Structure 1
Amino acid sequence: MSTPSKATVQKNFLKYQHFFVFAAPVLFVATVLLFAPTGGAGGTSYWLEYWWLFPVFLTGATIVNTVGISGSALFVPFLIFLFPIFSSGSLDPSAWSGVHVLEPTTLVKVGLISEAFGLSSSSIAFIQYGLVDRKLALTIVGGSVPFVILGAIISFVIPAWVFHLLLGLALTAAAYLLMRADLDHEEPGEDDAAAGETTAAADGGTADRNLPDDDDKLGPAGVRTDDDGTVTRVDRGGDDYEYTRSGYLRRFANYSVGGTFQGLAGFGSGELGIVSMLGTKVPVRVAIGTNHIIVATTAILASLMHVFGGGILVDMFPAIFGDAHTLDIASTPWNMVAFTVPATVTGGQIAPYVSNALETSTIKKFVAGLFAIISLALFGMATGGF
């Protein structure tokens, strides 16, 4: 009996990726229910207290994964402004107890844990469709790692008002960059077909050329890199894309700043990253798909730093981090993430279909406008106006 080749295993994994993707949150929730330290809390009332977070995070994950940005960009502001209202059932801040108002580091932790699962889910969906440049992604992730760690370390020692100020600045920049970014998806052959010319595939490729078709990919998908560095990529639907991987320094500059904010506030890599890729002529669909891998990886790293990093830093450098906002596993609101993780995984799988069904520019304008409004509120909190 022959052993399946690596290509066969990869192709079968992508073919049945829905099963593996949805098995992950099931295992996660089961592990949380059985083993998570809850500080003595438990029972049905505890675990079902935040069931209403599922539709909220499902909607948010679908939106952010459609445009390729970080989930925490929506999740963290929601947890700051709306979570106290929904969890307490009152618009009066005097009725909000400590359990209704989460600490900044807890906000980031919940957002990052949820985002890590959602982006991983969406990343696999985009890989399945053939829209991820893994070489480009690995290079950028390698350069972002130290900045993500730096941002997470900073988050342990800054006061809440500084956190809100930096969060507002990050969202303002994200709104501006999103409005400038052209995220519209060109439909294959629309311009040339209208002009009576040879049918063209997406992003300028022509359908009558000798295009790559790899055995380990689903459908007609494939990728080829020529001697001059030109990459020809074909997705599962048969559309082809041509680009080069030049512009590493520009992308590194953007992702270093974005990585710092990713570790600090839970988002930043996606917003700055998608703009830097488009600026270096990476086709929009490939840029969105590749950005998912980068943001998912940095979100996982930032999540680990926020869960375990505070206590480690205090133990190693008590003179510097003695007053750090330390977090231990028991402090994690597990009854929240038990619903937010399955929601973001589901949203990540839905996103590629929404991306094809809706005008991305419409979603982009909505998200950018929302960021601008949230930024004003955060600046008010930072200055004591709220």
Structure 2
Amino acid sequence: MTTSSPSSRLQKGFLKYQHVFVFLAPLLFVVGVYTAAPTPADAGTGYWFEYWWLCIAFVTGATIVNTVGISGSALFVPFLIFIFPLLAGETLTPETLVKVGLISESFGLSSSALAFIQYGLVDRRLALSLVLGSVPFVIAGALLSFVIPEPLFHALLGIALLAASYLLFKADLGHEEPGAAGDSDPEVSADGGDATLPDDDNKLGPAGVETADDGAVTRVDRDGNDYGYTRGGYLERFANYSIGGVFQGLAGFGVGELGIISMLRTEVPVRVAIGTNHIVVATTAVLASLVHVFGGGLVPGAHSIDLASTPWNMVVWTVPATVTGGQIAPYVSTALDTGTIKKFVGGLFAVIAVALFLMATGGV
């Protein structure tokens, strides 16, 4: 019998109770905002509860985007542009849209990324290579956001999402069903898994991963579902993630939408692709946020984000909502049929693209 190392036990304990740490973050955020954020002098109960209904919208939106592994702003921004004015009777400035989207997305993506890691659906080696390849393009896109006209950006992203929707519907997802790597008559191990499959000490339940000499990867998630794939296709993924990285820097979404297509086309199982994509999107979203906040001084005549004008009475509801949606997403993702996920994501991309074209042409 093997004994787990202290680091393995620590990692396993963190994953087991990650939801506790995840929900402490928005709690501390809300307390910090309430006690220290620069709010109007007459801020009272009415101020803090003015936008309570955003919690419902953002829980729903965060669950959707995290289930399919795309950036939260892909839904949050269109919602704040098209739906929010109808419900609130007011419109938000582009600067406010960026702030609300980035703050909410950062918490939601981090929450969901940890949940997918807990489920054993993240290929960390693949995620690391994608993050490193995306970084320069995200920075470049964020700096471009200070000078590129918004209508041009919306039109370009709409075209990119329509292309992604088409490629997704054309992609063969037959390789994505779990169980391809297992034996027909498995031997059961002590923790409920298959003794012939990898079972890592630092992962929950029967979860584990093993890479063969020929590059074939066998991955088992927390529920015992196994997936077989390879990490080949780096060039195609690099092309998609570099283009998506530019858009991610421009407006906080794009790398997830375009990147997941390349993973599916290179035969990464859909649930592993979604989980791995969360790491890439979360990391690049934080990086884009930092450049948006501090990069204005690097571009002549650029704007910078003023925290004093942040609508704190909105984000105190949207941040806990996105964290909650991020925790729900892995359960939804593992419960849905892969064909359903494919159709939903493709349709979602097309709808967002239409909305972006309307924004670009001034039709809204």
Task: Tell me the CA shift for residue 360 of structure 1.
Answer: 4.8
Q: 1:30 is matched by which residue type in structure 2?
A: V
Q: Is 1:80 matched up with 2:81? A: yes
Q: For residue 68 of structure 1, what is the aligned residue in structure 2?
A: 69
Task: Tell me the CA shift for residue 149 of structure 1.
Answer: 1.2
Q: Is 1:120 matched up with 2:110? A: yes
Q: Is 1:32 matched up with 2:33? A: yes
Q: Does the Cα contact within 8 Å between 2:260 and 2:274 map onto a contact in 1?
A: yes
Q: For residues 351 and 331 of structure 1, do their structure 2 counterparts lie closer, same or farther at Cα, with a shift above 3 Å needed?
A: same
Q: For residues 113 and 166 of structure 1, do their structure 2 counterparts lie closer, same or farther at Cα, with a shift above 3 Å needed?
A: farther
Q: Is 1:340 matched up with 2:341? A: no
Correspondences of 1:312-351 after superposition (within 5 Å)? 312-313=297-298, 317=299, 321-322=300-301, 324-351=302-329
Task: Tell me the CA shift for residue 166 of structure 1.
Answer: 3.4
Task: Tell me the CA shift for residue 23 of structure 1.
Answer: 0.7
Q: Does the Cα contact within 8 Å between 1:105 and 1:155 map onto a contact in 2?
A: no
Q: Does the Cα contact within 8 Å between 1:109 and 1:307 map onto a contact in 2?
A: no
Q: For residue 157 of structure 1, what is the aligned residue in structure 2?
A: 147
Residues 233-277 of structure 1 show CA distances to partners (whole Å, capped at 9, x for unaligned) of 221122222222222121111100011111112211111111111
Residues 58-86 of structure 1 show CA distances to partners (whole Å, capped at 9, x for unaligned) of 00111111111111111111111111111
Q: For residues 159 and 38 of structure 1, do their structure 2 counterparts lie closer, same or farther at Cα, with a shift above 3 Å needed?
A: farther
Task: Tell me the CA shift for residue 34 of structure 1.
Answer: 1.8
In 1, the alpha carbon distance for the partners of 2:173 and 2:186 equals: 19
Q: Is 1:221 matched up with 2:211? A: no
Residues 150-191 of structure 1 show CA distances to partners (whole Å, capped at 9, x for unaligned) of 1111112233333433343344334334434456862548xx
Correspondences of 1:257-296 after superposition (within 5 Å)? 257-296=243-282
In 2, the alpha carbon distance for the partners of 1:183 and 1:41 equals: 55
Percent of pairs with identical residues: 71
More divergent stretch after superposition (273-282 vs 365-374): 365-374
Q: For residue 108 of structure 1, what is the aligned residue in structure 2?
A: 98
Q: Does the Cα contact within 8 Å between 1:104 and 1:160 map onto a contact in 2?
A: no
Q: 1:85 is matched by which residue type in structure 2?
A: L
* SS in structure 2 at match of 1:82: helix
Q: For residue 57 of structure 1, what is the aligned residue in structure 2?
A: 58
Correspondences of 1:86-235 after superposition (within 5 Å)? 86-88=87-89, 100-181=90-171, 186=177, 188=179, 198=184, 210-235=196-221
More divergent stretch after superposition (108-117 vs 175-184): 175-184
Q: Does the Cα contact within 8 Å between 1:140 and 1:294 map onto a contact in 2?
A: yes
Q: For residues 181 and 308 of structure 1, do their structure 2 counterparts lie closer, same or farther at Cα, with a shift above 3 Å needed?
A: farther
Return the TM-score normalized by structure 2: 0.88
Q: For residues 199 and 77 of structure 1, do their structure 2 counterparts lie closer, same or farther at Cα, with a shift above 3 Å needed?
A: farther
Q: 1:111 is matched by which residue type in structure 2?
A: G
In 1, the alpha carbon distance for the partners of 2:168 and 2:92 equals: 28
Q: For residues 368 and 293 of structure 1, do their structure 2 counterparts lie closer, same or farther at Cα, with a shift above 3 Å needed?
A: same
In 1, the alpha carbon distance for the partners of 2:208 and 2:194 equals: 15
Q: 2:152 is matched by which residue type in structure 1?
A: V
Q: Does the Cα contact within 8 Å between 2:161 and 2:257 map onto a contact in 1?
A: no
Q: Is 1:19 matched up with 2:20? A: yes
Q: For residues 177 and 104 of structure 1, do their structure 2 counterparts lie closer, same or farther at Cα, with a shift above 3 Å needed?
A: farther
Q: For residue 190 of structure 2, what is the aligned residue in structure 1?
A: none
Task: Tell me the CA shift for residue 289 of structure 1.
Answer: 1.0
Q: For residues 225 and 177 of structure 1, do their structure 2 counterparts lie closer, same or farther at Cα, with a shift above 3 Å needed?
A: same
Q: 2:24 is matched by which residue type in structure 1?
A: A
Q: For residue 91 of structure 1, what is the aligned residue in structure 2?
A: none
